[in-house]
Amino acid sequence: MTRLSVNINKIATLRNARGGNNPNVIQTALDCERFGAQGITVHPRPDERHIRYADVIELKKVVTNEFNIEGYPDARYLNLIRETKPAQATLVPDGPDAITSNAGWDTVKHERFLQEIIAEIKSYGVRVSVFVDPSASMVEGAKKASADRIELYTEPYASNYHKNKEASIKPYIEAAHVAHTLGLGINAGHDLDLQNLKFLKTSLLHLDEVSIGHALICDALYLGLENTIQLYLRQLK
């Protein structure tokens, strides 16, 4: 079964809008696990506009399922990975001013940089996933840099799903095949929702994990968090 990791950044965004601790980010993470999520994802950014670095420290103390920390691998991120030692570090290429991740790594251009970063993170006993576009050459570059997994950037798939789902999934099938052949684990994330998730899952036979935040939290406003998580899990079975 493909694992569901819930990205709780948007919970922190809501909390930060008014200050205080409502909604409680830590309790939400625990609730997500209790409701069936197999992982918790966070993406702390330098301006701390949603998840704060202090949140990550506290989450590591209580998250009992897989903890995934996304981010650009600058010195502060690497220090956080070394201190918390999550199950997985997902490396993304976007700079500090990006609203959200909007492209994968050029793993060919940045191969040496990624090799050095990945070697350091692995020395802490942490699995490394590299965020990539659905391209065979980018997947191969991630392998050369010694990544354990790739995370396929699925916004283009989601954007074109309702126009032509077969065409939108084709590059992902090809990239996933290359990754599986090379022995890389396969994650996916960005703009996945209750409409497009099942088709992605059934098309990518070796999909290990999806990371979903924005759509899941939006759905939870209408459907409730527990029910929403169960609905997403159902799409992955």
In the numeric block, which tokens belong to residue 177?
């095949």
For residue 94, the model assigns a pLDDT of 79
State how far the Cα of 132 lies from the Cα of 120, in Å rounded to an integer. 20
For 130-176, how does the pLDDT look when each residue is reduced to its tens digit (9 = 90+)?
A: 999 999 999 999 999 999 999 999 999 999 999 999 999 999 999 99
Domain of 199, in residue numbers: 3-235
Type and span of the H or E element at 171: helix 165-181
State how far the Cα of 191 lies from the Cα of 168, in Å rounded to an integer. 13
For residue 97, the model assigns a pLDDT of 61
Q: In DSSP terms, which residues pair with 130 in a beta bridge?
A: 91, 150
The number of domains in the chain is 1
For 6-64, how does the pLDDT look when each residue is reduced to its tens digit (9 = 90+)?
A: 999 999 999 999 989 999 999 999 999 999 999 999 999 999 999 999 999 999 999 99
Q: What is the DSSP letter of 23?
A: S
For residue 1, the model assigns a pLDDT of 87
Residues classed as catalytic = 43, 70, 190
State how far the Cα of 133 lies from the Cα of 141, in Å rounded to an integer. 11
- CATH code for the domain in which residue 39 is found: 3.20.20.70
Q: Is the pLDDT of residue 99 over 90?
A: no
For residue 176, the model assigns a pLDDT of 98
